[in-house]
Amino acid sequence: MEDQARSSCEQATSCLSANLAEEPLSPKILASLRSLVVTPSTPDPTISSIFETLSRSLQLSRDPIVLHYTLKLLSDLAFHRPSLSQPVSDSVRSHSLLSSESTRLAVESLDVLASISDRAGSSVELDDRSFVSLCFCPSVSVRAWLLRNAERFHIGPHVLVTLFFGFTKDPYPYVRKIALDGLVGLSKTGVIEDSGMIQGCYSRAVHLLQDMEDCVRSAAVRTVSAWGLMLIASNPERKLYWSDDLFVKLCSMGRDMSMEVRVEAFDSLGKIENVSEDVLLQTLSKRVLGITKEMGSLGQCPAEEFEISASSVAGVFVHGLEDEFFEVRKSACHSLRTLTMMSAEFSGKVLNLLMDVLNDDSVVVRLEALQTMLHMTTHGLLKVQGTHMHMFLGTLMDSSTSIRSASRKILKLVKLSSMESFRLSVGGLIENLERHPQDEPEIFCVMFHMGRNHGKFVVSIINEMSEEIEPTSEGKLDFDRERVAALLVLAISAPLSQKQNAFGIPPRIFSYAVTLLGRISVALTDVVDQDALLAYLFQSSRSTGFSASDFNFEANNTVETLFQKQKGASNILQSWATTEALEVASPLVRSQLGVHNELMKSMNLILEKVKDIWLLMQSGFAKEVLGSLRSFKEEVATFNSESVGSVGVVAFTMQYLRIMKQLAKVWEHFLPARNPRSSGMGGLDVILGKLDMRLRELRSRFTGFSLEQEVQILELILLTCIFRLCKVDICCHLATLEKLSATMSRVESILILGSFEPSNFVSEVGQLLCRIGSSSSGVSCNPFLFKDLVQYFSHKQFVFCGRLDHIVAELVFPNNDSENPLRFVPCLPVGIPCEIVLHNVSSENKLWLRMTMDDESTQFVFLDLNLFGGSEEVRNFTYVAPFYRTPNAASFTLRICIGMECLFEDFLSSKRYGGPKRELTYLCQERKVHLSMMNLCRVDRFSSRNHFQRNKTEELVAAVAKSIDSFAESGKNVL
């Protein structure tokens, strides 16, 4: 095959050489040359010949069209053949296009040089005079390109300031916008220090806030903010004056007609670090306040100008938080973080507004409001009143995991002033735990920290609810109940409060807490390990009264220090862990300690081996890696997963190994020195599709991940998107880019909630997305930018630290096979009796029955879980699924399975009318149902024909009626 391709290339080259000898280059010939340039199998001598031909064309041709295509082809040549980048650059530099009368050709030449330099990490040097001369050409597109790419050429900053300043008056709005963006870029360099020049640029940007075009006003807001902050920094003696002036100017754009302008205005308001308190308070009142008239800065303005300024500021944040677009409301919430630091009175009034925002329709806005409140809590500015508690605690019942997590993080840090507020908070957390058991680790952690911060309140609560914790009169322990478990965690934290000793907590409470040792230790992994926690509970359960001083602690020591010292008490640990503890503990404790962690340790050991073969994968030893993964899967298959809590761990490990297998196959395609195997590998698109499906299943079908574990999974999804974007011929570029951006947003929100730093890979992906979002020069289409990101990815071992629940379904069709088919009447509905068992499916999940016929036509039936009983752990029910598309055939087969919508998918699917709106992940294997048409043709030889027809007709009517009755209720679930 390679010889045949080489022969074809040689024939094409000789043909082209003959044509070139007879006639000059034409667009048709250049198109033929391009097919050779982009073909990887084209021999090097042919490429060299093409390069010489194109270089000669630059020197000899005067046709602008030919020169345009020649430059484009040279750019493609440098892109596909990096070894020719420098010769191409030298050839373009040597010809006279840069000094020709055609500015368009000059700019195209610069574009080729700049693209080559970008890939090499260098820059193109161009003298200031030539650049300025090109900028004043009559072509709008040329002016726009030069201003937008000015930073790629070493042009002096003062020359650029003059150019950008002048072109802010260009008659074309797009050029004005680019000029303003250029001024913003210059403000970040810090080169311009002249106060007069800074004020001039600031004034020009303020003037353009009234421009007729939305894009210009949006750019003007960014420019006013950037140069206004420079003006504040360069005038320390008038810092407050210019801060207030900038604040007022930006507030005036908070009610602009354009949503993008309003978002930019509120984003910029959050960057100002010093504003008069009176001005701040005015933003929260739509009525002009009397005290505003005494403002020191605005008081220097004439009366007319003062009225305009005051009306611009009045109620701007009230309007922003009530805006019709969620982007504006989100931006307004975010900008309040910095401003609340300036005034306690302002922060108190802002809290009232934020409490209303917690009822917003948008999850993004609610989360942003909670993040602002968390920022206030961190700096001691959140003073929660009794009137706020019910509205705030309502977020603990939110359907969004991120909202609930953000609310709990606030409760973890906030100082509650009253017993009633504390009681409501504890009740809200317990209700959160009862409705969403998957949140248990984080809720236990919040309970523990709240107990440390409010020791006195804890003792009072435990005394009130002690009857719920104690065993029943029959001696039954009820510690598995969510409410009792939460109270036990709260109780054991009280002795660690700096203001409370343990005399109010009975020692037996600590022995009760030992029954939950595994669950509590998982929740407190950031504070203590399991051995230290066990020692603490043991010693506390044996003491009749103690305080923090009994552990040789000073009053200002943290709980981390306590557990670290307890960890060193080896004599306590040994006695407890070997004999005495097991004698004192209940059978429930012995059972839990006996089976706990053994299987997780084995799975962690296997995952550690997966991490060890990562270097082999990167080096291209795919065969060896796949062999190792195969042996790991066989090892996992030997483990018994029937014990409680182990099913999810084993299933997750198996799925993780499948993902690593697909990742190894993908990685081989991106190695420069090796070719992917031609057999058994499949096309790259097929492998990436399998990898996407496996990752979607991993993220959808397992619950109980910590934030850090979720980030690890999301990093694999980011890597898969990067692999897709690395391909030049990708056909779904925009969809993949949107998925990459959505996944990155989820990662960023988790990093905000968590207390860990992003990896280098995540940081680089975020920076590239920022460049793509702010660029209009085709950055998003360059596969080399994405290919560079792959080297930043580093595989981290996935470590089990708690229980994972596996979402799975069982589907059975009783008494149905090819010998005993269900009966149906053509073109009439038929009911399919199903026996369904669901494991770990919550009421938030949306389940569908997918029913596919022989001809691949599909019908979806929605399973409304509210209609069936059972708990979230196990739901067992019988359901008659209606199928409406019965064919006019003697028999047919249905393939049925249960799918679950991936609720984390942000993009809705429109390919299935009336079915699921998002992609499905399937919870069981596809099952076959056999159906056969009712036979009306067999006649009883002893019955008359009329009697037969009458009986069969009655039988048919009865059968149809019974079938319709059987799924009358369930039919409404078909969409």
12-16, 334-338, 904-908: which has the highest mean pLDDT?
Answer: 334-338
Encoded tokens for 688: 């990436």
Using one digit for the tens of pLDDT, what is the confidence trace for 58-93? 777 777 788 888 888 888 888 888 888 888 888 887
96-110, 735-749, 903-917: which has the highest mean pLDDT?
Answer: 735-749
> CA torsion sign, 695 to 699 to 704 to 709?
positive
Given this model, what pLDDT does residue 177 score?
93
Using one digit for the tens of pLDDT, what is the confidence trace for 321-344? 999 999 999 999 999 999 999 988
Which residue from 152, 155, 144 is spatially nearest to 116, judged by alpha carbons?
Answer: 152
Task: Say how many C-beta atoms besides its own lie within 10 A of residue 445's C-beta.
Answer: 21
Using one digit for the tens of pLDDT, what is the confidence trace for 776-806? 444 455 666 777 788 788 888 888 877 788 8
- How far apart CA 244 and CA 797 sit, in angstroms, is 51
517 vs 160, residue with greater confidence: 160
Given this model, what pLDDT does residue 554 score?
33
Given this model, what pLDDT does residue 837 score?
92
**Architecture of the domain delimited by 807-933:** Sandwich (2.60)
Ordered by start, the domain boundaries in the chain are 1-120, 418-542, 594-670+682-792, 807-933
313-317, 379-383, 872-876: which has the highest mean pLDDT?
Answer: 313-317
Confidence of residue 410 (pLDDT cuts 50, 70, 90): very high
Q: How far is CA 476 from the centre of its chain?
A: 45
Angle, alpha carbons 157-161-164 (nearest 5°): 130
- How far apart CA 491 and CA 497 sit, in angstroms, is 11
Using one digit for the tens of pLDDT, what is the confidence trace for 569-587? 333 333 333 333 334 344 4
267-271, 698-702, 813-817: which has the highest mean pLDDT?
Answer: 267-271
Given this model, what pLDDT does residue 938 score?
43
Least confident of 53-57, 164-168, 833-837, 920-924: 53-57
Helix ranges, 314-439 (H): 316-321, 326-339, 344-357, 363-378, 386-393, 401-413, 419-435
pTM across the whole model:
0.60
- How far apart CA 833 and CA 815 sit, in angstroms, is 10
Over residues 270-277, the mean pLDDT reads 91
897 φ/ψ angles, rounded to the nearest 5 degrees? -150, 170
Half-sphere exposure of 436 (CA within 13 A, CB side): 23
> CA torsion sign, 939 to 945 to 947 to 949?
positive
280 vs 556, residue with greater confidence: 280
